[in-house]
Amino acid sequence: MFCYRSVRAFDYSLDYKQLNLREQPELYAIGRGEQGVLMVEPYKSEILPHWRFKDPEAATASSETIYKMFLAYLEAEDFVGADMARKFIQMGYTRARRYANYRGGKKYDGPVPDDKKGQSGSHGREQLERQPEDPVKAESARIFKAKWDEAKVHPEYVRQKAAYIEKYG
């Protein structure tokens, strides 16, 4: 097993629009949570069209499709792709939970500062009051959570993640 602290922080300074991390996997940093999920190409463009959590039917189709992509990336020994698919599945859970807890998915008051877009956190904004849970979004979250739990412990994912960290830090 590896130490979580050994994982490099996600580098927001790279020009991800110009990079192909399939060709340059050494530039990829696993980071924490979903960092970089909407930045890293070509994976963002491959996975994002399949990402939906509107209702349980959409969440089921989306999580199953992205999980199949996750398995295909693993089979191709493309850890970066597999990790990005895992991040999209994780983001399906976190976004559906946010919409389950906050009407319209808005958790904080005010806009995100331009220099902080794509990064998590409140950035000094006030957190809004939670609403009564939306059962449809809560079920969508549960569907994604089950796939995320499956992905993060998949033996081949765990092996490739350890190998990636050993090779690239």
Phi, psi of 95, deg, nearest 5: -70, -40
pTM to 2 decimal places: 0.84
**Residue 18, C-beta contacts closer than 8 angstroms, at least 6 positions apart:** none
- Cα separation, 153 vs 16, in Å, equals 28
| Nearest alpha carbon to residue 128 among 158, 155, 101 | 101
- Cα separation, 30 vs 11, in Å, equals 10
Cβ atoms within 10 Å of 51's Cβ, excluding its own? 21
Cβ atoms within 10 Å of 89's Cβ, excluding its own? 29
The domain limits of the chain are 4-107+131-168
DSSP one-letter code for 41: T
Q: Environment class of residue 26 by beta-carbon count within 10 Å: exposed (0-12), middle (13-18) or buried (19+)?
A: exposed
pLDDT tens track, the chain, 169 positions:
444 445 788 999 999 999 999 999 999 999 999 999 999 999 999 999 999 999 999 999 999 999 999 999 999 999 999 999 999 999 999 999 998 988 766 666 666 565 554 555 555 667 766 668 889 999 999 999 999 999 999 999 999 999 999 999 8
- Cα separation, 35 vs 20, in Å, equals 17
